Structure 1
Amino acid sequence: MNGKHIVHEHGIGDDVVDGVKLTPEERRRQRGRNIAIGVVLGALFVLFYVLTIARLGANVFSRPF
């Protein structure tokens, strides 16, 4: 099992994923991936927001009511 220990009880704050206790290196890598995913999602949000505003341009103020 790649040197990992099977854990059957899950406690709050345990480093357990799908019954496998993660090593500190695996936790560090997982955190790095989570941060990278968050940054990419944030960048996509900003990109879509900027593109939307750019497409609307000055037309957003000249709409008929």
Structure 2
Amino acid sequence: MAEGKGLTETHEIHKRRLGRNVGTALCLLGFCAIVFGLTVAKVREGGLLEANDHVPRASVLPITEDTQ
């Protein structure tokens, strides 16, 4: 029976890929943290949370007084 490298032995390329994968994961987590932080800041600000759904918004309509 031929004895070769076992399945548990890691090759040098796997070690390099691990470093790249960890770097990519950190970049992705950083991007998610930035988007989450901006979302939290926007929600805390409150203010104008109106969507752009192509209908007249009450906040931009002129104030009209009743003539009665």
> Where in structure 1 are there 5+ consecutive unaligned residues?
1-23
Runs of 4+ in 1 over 4 A off after TM superposition: none
Q: How many residues align?
A: 41
Higher RCO structure (Cα 8 Å, ≥6 apart): 1
Q: Flag the 1:26–1:54 CA change in 2: closer, same or farther, 3 A.
A: same
Match of 1:28 among 14, 36, 56: 14
The RMSD of aligned alpha carbons is 2.2
- Deviation, structure 1 residue 61: 1.0
Give the TM-score taking structure 1 as reference length: 0.52
Structure number with higher strand proportion: 1
Tell me, in whole angstroms, the C-alpha distance in 1 between the residues paired with 2:48 and 2:23.
32
- Deviation, structure 1 residue 60: 4.7
Structure number with higher helix proportion: 1
> Where in structure 2 are there 5+ consecutive unaligned residues?
1-9, 51-58, 61-68
Correspondence 1:38 to 2:24: yes
Give the TM-score taking structure 2 as reference length: 0.50
Q: Which has the larger radius of gyration?
A: 2
